[in-house]
Amino acid sequence: MPDYSRIFIDGRWVAPDATTSAEVVNPATEEVIAHVPMGSSRDVDRAVAAARSAADGWARTPAKERAAALGRVAAGLQQRAEELAVLATDDVGTPIGLSRLAHAGLPLNNFAFAAQAVADSADAFEGIGNSRVVREPYGVVGAIAPWNYPMHQSTAKVAPALAAGNTVVLKPSEVAPLTIWALTEIIEAAGLPPGVFNLVSGDGPVVGQAIAAHPQVDLVSFTGSTAAGIKVSQAAAPTIKKVSLELGGKSPAIVLPGTDLSTTLSQVLQAAFVNSGQTCFALTRLLVHADEIDEAEELLAAEVAAMRLGDPREESTQYGPLASKAQRDRVTGYMRSAIDAGHRLLVGGPQRPAGPERGFYVQPTVFTRVPAQARITREEIFGPVLVVQIYRTFDEAVLLANDTSFGLAAGVWAPEQETALAVGRRVRAGQVQINGGGFNPNAPFGGYKQSGNGRENGRYGLEEFQEIKSFQL
């Protein structure tokens, strides 16, 4: 097991300046499984100084050598994939099957893709008239990652940032940080120069704030709530550094008349409740035509009632616990508020589900025929709560879909793909799932409106960490 009492600065595991720590709790058993340091601003200063010292040398390292180093990280992730999946399941509560895909598989892809992309683009430039346009690293990147997909969201920042020639200071969430210690061990074993990658744990108000405000950090990449993203932007503003934000969502699933409702609603529920609803791009608003609402409600109630909650280490478990007691209380609070407001509960609710006697479990829940201005329609709940809305025309469906301050994702189901695409073009969201199309980890990912700015993943994610310079010849 890693030594969780230390942080990683300048190529070494060192004692943090701070003496306090945070408990890491297994959400399925409610047992404390580790303690991690709650770092200080002085820890951030040390890490940024190390990253700044290493920045010029890493930027000058040939792209092929950087690619080879990232390839070694990818190989280490592959070697420890099952260990990482189990660790994430114990840390986040994600069912083991999804952990293998999202917590182990996607990070591997992030490093492998970044390695290949930078190798392919080595010394590339674009000619525009008498100009030569090149891409260069920003310098020091501050990466602040969330707790719901800690490995994927961390590596979606770290891998392209390193590939582009930046050095990195990473702050994982203190709620579910354990896989990040394993990632750091893998990066250490890959032999990156000291200071190129640094790990400082802690909370947002202290460590996150210090990273965002630090005058020697050139770019901040943050994933989390919209409220926290605003604070990151405010902290970064005095130094005019670039800020890339991947924030919240309240994403619509538009089901057009004539689809196979049984298949479609099964896909919608999967998209709504993935990782127990703790997914920023979850499709948590279902828009159903008035003529099909009765059939839709019958199908939804039956499928949700049959969902298998249980031990996330068990292969048959579909839905595990929420990641923390605070998150469970937040989600059930929304449910109670919706019931008190008179909204129609179709299935589920705030009572503890049958089954496990311990753990932060909540029932997958559907509220139906909910008005557009309801709190549960407008606010991100971040749990397995689906809100059903009724529309009567295509134009009304689009209007309802866009009636939100968010714009991270959406889904459209229609009998003909071209119809779904036409409606999807009218939805203001960064990615739109068409007739259940699968997640592509190398396609650009990011949001409109208060869901953030910038893009992650694939080539677009690499370019996010590159400055643009033009030479006039």
**Residues tagged active-site:** 246, 280
- Spatial separation of the C-alpha atoms in residues 351 and 230, rounded to whole Å: 34
SS3 helix, strand, coil % of the chain, rounded to 5?
45, 20, 35
Residue type, 327: Q
Virtual torsion, Cα 456, 95, 23, 143, nearest 10 deg = -10
**What number of residues does the chain have?**
473
DSSP state of 149: S
Of 312, 376, 302, nearest in space to 339 by CA = 376
Residue 30 φ/ψ, nearest 5 degrees: 65, 20
Beta-carbon neighbour count of residue 443 at 10 Å?
A: 13
Query: What backbone torsions phi and psi does residue 146 show, to the nearest 5 degrees?
Result: -95, 180
CA 380 – CA 377 distance, rounded (Å) = 8
3-state secondary structure of 315: coil
Chain CA centroid to CA 201, Å: 18
- Separation between Cα atoms, residue 429 and residue 19, nearest integer Å: 43
Long-range contacts of 350-353 (CB under 8 A, 24+ apart): 353/309
Task: Return the number of other C-beta atoms located less than 10 Å from residue 258's C-beta.
Answer: 13
For residue 135, give Cα distances in angstroms to 120, 125, 260, 466. Answer: 14, 8, 47, 6
